[in-house]
Amino acid sequence: MAPPMSGDTRIPAIDGWFTDDALLGTRCGACGATFFPPERTFCRNPACASTDLADVELSKRGKVWSFSVNHYAAPPPYVGKEPFEPYTVVAVELSQEQMVVLGQLAAGVDPAGLKIGDEVEIAIEPLFTDDDGTHVAWKWRPVS
Ligand SMILES: [Zn+2]
């Protein structure tokens, strides 16, 4: 009998922060402010403080605002490879919300070719695999 398959299940590294192809934020019904990560209690706009917060999909594209190649292990949720490999973190200004969201550069993309202002899109990619399945998170991939 074949051993049970592992790695078939895609598990969000963080629950409720993204779908299969988009980041999830919340938008305030009173003032229109958008939050990421999702704000679940009340609007952080000090002039508002409404509790009318709805889930919204955020822009799938944005522009590179800043990026850096990290040569040290990052805290969760950025689970690195074993053995450690340098990885690139990109700060992306979302096209509609104009808020900056950090994420890793997509697998197989050489950061040497990345420039401030480049357009990127979200990619839900594996972070690591264990007995429970493949843990996935959002990353940023240049739009070619
Ligand atoms: Zn508000």
Summarize pLDDT for 64-105 with one digit per residue, the tens: 999 999 888 767 766 666 778 888 999 999 999 999 999 999
CA of 66 to the centre of ligand 1 (A): 28
Q: What percent of the chain is modeled with pLDDT above 90? A: 74
Please check the confidence at residue 110 and state whether its pLDDT lies above 90.
yes
Q: What mean pLDDT is predicted for residues 33-38? A: 96
Q: How many CA atoms lie within 13 A of 139 on its CB side?
A: 20
Look up residue 34 and give its two tokens.
């958008």
Q: What is the pLDDT of residue 78?
A: 63
Look up residue 126 and give its two tokens.
């594996």
Tell me what the pLDDT averaged over the chain comes to.
Answer: 90
Residues with beta carbon < 5 A to ion ligand 1? 28, 30-31, 33, 43, 45, 48, 50
Please check the confidence at residue 5 and state whether its pLDDT lies above 60.
no
Summarize pLDDT for 121-137 with one digit per residue, the tens: 999 999 888 888 999 99
Q: What is the pLDDT of residue 7?
A: 46
CA of 57 to the centre of ligand 1 (A): 17
* Beta-bridge mates of residue 136: 12, 126
DSSP, residue by residue, the chain: -PPPP-S-SEEESSTTSB-SSSBEEEEETTT--EESSPP-SS---TTT----EEEEEPPSEEEEEEEEEE-SPPPTT----SS---EEEEEEEETTT--EEEEEEPTT--GGG--TT-EEEEEEEEEEEETTEEEEEEEEEE--
Summarize pLDDT for 12-26 with one digit per residue, the tens: 989 999 999 999 999
Q: What percent of the chain is modeled with pLDDT above 70? A: 90
Higher pLDDT, 77 or 109: 109
